[in-house]
Amino acid sequence: MDQPQQPLFDRRTLISMLLLGVFLLVWMPTIQRLFPAFFGGKPAPAAIAEDDKTTDDKDKQPEGPLPNFEEGPAATHILGTDAPGKGYFLQVQLNSRGASVDWAKLNDPRYLTLDRKEQLKVVGNLPPNADGTEPLSFNTAIDQINSQIKPLKKTTEKAHWKLLPGATSETATFLVQAPDNSVAVRKTYTLQKGDEANRDEDAAGYVLKIDLSIENLKAAPTKQSYRLQGPVGLPLENVANSRTLMEVKVATHGDLSDPSDISHLIRTAGEITTQFDKAKIDSYLDPIHYAGIDVQFFSALVLPSKDQLLDANKDGNADRYFSSVYPTIVARNTDKPIRSSISLRMQTHEFEIAAGKTLTHSYRVFLGPKQKAIAQALELELSLREPEFSLFKPFTFCARPVEKLLQLLLGFYGTFAPYGLAIIMLTFSVRMCLLPLTRKQVRDGEKMKIITPQITKLKEKYANEPEKFMLAQRELMKRYNHNMLGGCLPLFIQMPIFIGLYGAVNTCLDLRLAKFLWIDNLAAPDALFSFGREIWGVGSTFNLLPLFNVGLFLFQQRQMMPPPTNDEERMRNNMMNGMTVVMGFLFYSVPSGLCLYFIASSILGMIERWALKKFMPPIVVAPAPMTVSPTGAVTPELIDPNRPKSFIEKLLEAADAARKQTDGQKPKR
């Protein structure tokens, strides 16, 4: 009899082989990455660098003759001048490396660095790297030429372009040519002049024009694309206290049939570093209205000169320059990412150029202060928009016109007075407008000092009857013609004024470097002295004005609030005082101009209260309703039983009836 045939592999053997296979599949790639030299392979590729540096020079050089790429000599050229009086608003230094901009400096005497030692640079404030690998503003990578010079370990954004003869203080042209003489690329910078007597409204002087021309030297069509670097190295000022530092600002056209449909996008340096860490980087694919980098008082924005919604070839698609615009990190601050230096890059479509023809793209680059009239002239109004605090969004609609009015008043007073005194005069104007509300608030405060002890007695009398207490309290308020919620009205009306003033001070360029008393810069904290290092939650300087402001708030609050008569009121007063101190910490780093406003407002408010209380008519109290008992005793009647009941009283009666009915239905034990 034949024996039954045994299986070749039993279950345990199959499971062991399966586990071994999984182990080899996981372990072998891992060990090769950890020890690439042992296995004769290359090390694992590094992650893409934050500044998008090319890794072409790391590739192995191919065999064969190297291309004959003619690079120009290293050169720089100056456009404009650093001295006013010649029509230029800017001085710009060009660099042959990538046909880029080293720096652009404002020559207006108002725009100095915070130490007042030199004119402010709008771009080019980062120190250069020793190996020259840092990106420069507006350098250009020609993709097809880069593919040819790859064996030379060169790229057009790092190679030196030829500075053509004939450069002047107004214009200069750089040239780079493909090794196979297929295309020649010319990049021309032109600095415009403006009306120096009208610097705050004439936008022309702050515009640097860039014309990029790609000429097809072949007898056949060619396809070309390029990548334009955005502005690099805007000034980071007052980094320990600024609400916003460096931001990417992009405006895109969403609806191709509606040129007015423009979406305004803002990304802070902190948000962009987070995107890089998560490998989820924004890329703007719609036609660009403008794109650039923005700081508190200055902007560097690129505007395509041609309407990006035009469709010249009638193919149904807009003839836009860029296929995508994306942010980059130039210098990361690992401790505080919000303080990182950021930029962006603009990648074009691949354009077909006919034989012997030239493709030209033109740009206007705005490099200057964030003045409203200048922004309107260049259609950059959206770039002036600041991020909104979600807490203050309900008041934003009201605060916008208030902010405009405050900026107008500040500009009016600032024409004939120092800006510190102008803020005090502005405060006086605001207080006079709010005088009727202040008068009501003072009168309500005096009433509450009289009413509070009586409310305390009512609480004791109706300790176990809350419904009767509420009705009695309401009747007491009616006798004094007082509404407890009315005291909050002035606060709600002042909230839009506060938000508008906060926005005006943060964006008022004239307050930058404006001096007053010991204050060196009204757009920054008063900084009486420096700690020598940055302290968490406080900053690096001792600011006197916020502490003085808190002291005034506490004194004012003590004068307004009635003295406590029990533990509950004492706890309420302590909570109010604690909240005032906390607010002082929150406002410790706000601009000194804003603190100056609140100090002046508090002092003027105390003067107003003293005058109003001195000349205020006496408080009239309506007599309490009286009723006669059957015994002939006369007692005050708090509630008139024959008067119509209010909606709240009806609700209370319904709730009381429902509670009694529920209690009656409970099972007895």
pLDDT in tens, 314-333: 777 777 899 999 999 998 88
pLDDT at 372: 84
The SS3 assignment for 323 reads: strand
Task: Identify the CATH number of the domain in which residue 332 sits.
Answer: 2.70.98.90
DSSP annotation of 337 reads: G
pLDDT at 640: 44
Crossing angle (nearest 10°) for helices 435-461 and 489-507: 140
Predicted confidence band of residue 46 (pLDDT cuts 50, 70, 90): very low
Residue 206 contacts residue 194 (beta carbons within 8 Å): yes
Q: How many helices (H) and strands (E) does the chain have?
A: 13, 23
Residue 111 contacts residue 119 (beta carbons within 8 Å): yes
Residues 412 and 373 in one domain: no
pLDDT at 574: 76
Residue where a domain stops, chosen among 354, 384, 414: 384
Which H or E element spans position 171? strand 171-177
Predicted confidence band of residue 206 (pLDDT cuts 50, 70, 90): very high
Total domains present in the chain = 2
pLDDT at 636: 47
Give domain status of residue 313, yes or no. Answer: yes
- Please enumerate in sequence order all residues whose Cβ is within 8 A of that of 408, keeping only pairs 6 or more positions apart, or say none: none
Residue 84 contacts residue 102 (beta carbons within 8 Å): no
Residues 307 and 374 in one domain: yes
Residues 153 and 76 in one domain: yes
pLDDT at 282: 83
Residues 312 and 409 in one domain: no
Neighbour-count burial for 269-304, b at 16+ CB within 10 Å, e otherwise: bbbbbebbeeeeebebebbbbbbbbbbbbbbbbbbb
Q: Token pair of 104, please?
A: 């652009």
Q: Token pair of 201, please?
A: 């409204």
Give domain status of residue 173, yes or no. Answer: yes
Residues 198 and 287 in one domain: yes
Give domain status of residue 645, yes or no. Answer: no
The size of the chain, in residues, is 669
Give domain status of residue 57, yes or no. Answer: no
Note the Cα 482 to chain centre separation in Å: 43
Burial (CB < 10 A; 0-12, 13-18, 19+), residue 50, is: middle
Question: Residue 527: which region, alpha, beta or left (left: phi > 0; alpha: psi -120 to 50)?
Answer: left
- 579 vs 586: CA distance, rounded Å: 10
Give domain status of residue 41, yes or no. Answer: no
Residue 225 contacts residue 351 (beta carbons within 8 Å): yes
Give domain status of residue 205, yes or no. Answer: yes
pLDDT at 510: 82
pLDDT at 406: 65
Q: Name the β-bridge partners of 352.
A: 223
Average pLDDT value over all residues in the chain = 78
pLDDT at 438: 78
Higher pLDDT, 115 or 625: 115
Q: Token pair of 497, please?
A: 């004024």
What pLDDT, in 10s, does the model give residues 349-376?
A: 999 999 999 999 999 999 999 988 888 8
Domain containing 530: what range?
398-615
- 451 vs 362: CA distance, rounded Å: 73
Mean pLDDT of the region 235-248:
84
The count of other CB atoms within 10 Å of the CB of residue 134 is: 17
Residues 234 and 123 in one domain: yes
Residue 649 contacts residue 635 (beta carbons within 8 Å): no
Residues 487 and 607 in one domain: yes
Question: Residue 649: which region, alpha, beta or left (left: phi > 0; alpha: psi -120 to 50)?
Answer: alpha
Residue 67 contacts residue 180 (beta carbons within 8 Å): yes
Mean pLDDT of the region 119-125:
94
Residues 120 and 213 in one domain: yes
Give domain status of residue 46, yes or no. Answer: no
What pLDDT, in 10s, does the model give residues 443-486?
A: 777 777 777 777 777 777 787 877 777 777 777 777 776 666 55
Whether pLDDT at 595 is above 80? yes
What pLDDT, in 10s, does the model give residues 275-304?
A: 888 888 888 888 889 999 999 899 999 999
What pLDDT, in 10s, does the model give residues 387-425?
A: 554 445 555 555 566 666 666 777 777 677 788 888 888
Q: Token pair of 135, please?
A: 């990106």
Higher pLDDT, 275 or 6: 275
DSSP annotation of 517 reads: T
What pLDDT, in 10s, does the model give residues 61-115?
A: 555 566 788 888 999 999 999 988 899 999 999 999 999 999 999 999 999 999 8
Residues 224 and 282 in one domain: yes
Residues 245 and 317 in one domain: yes
Give domain status of residue 187, yes or no. Answer: yes
Residues 140 and 77 in one domain: yes
Higher pLDDT, 190 or 655: 190
Residues 489 and 547 in one domain: yes
Residue where a domain stops, chosen among 599, 615, 631: 615
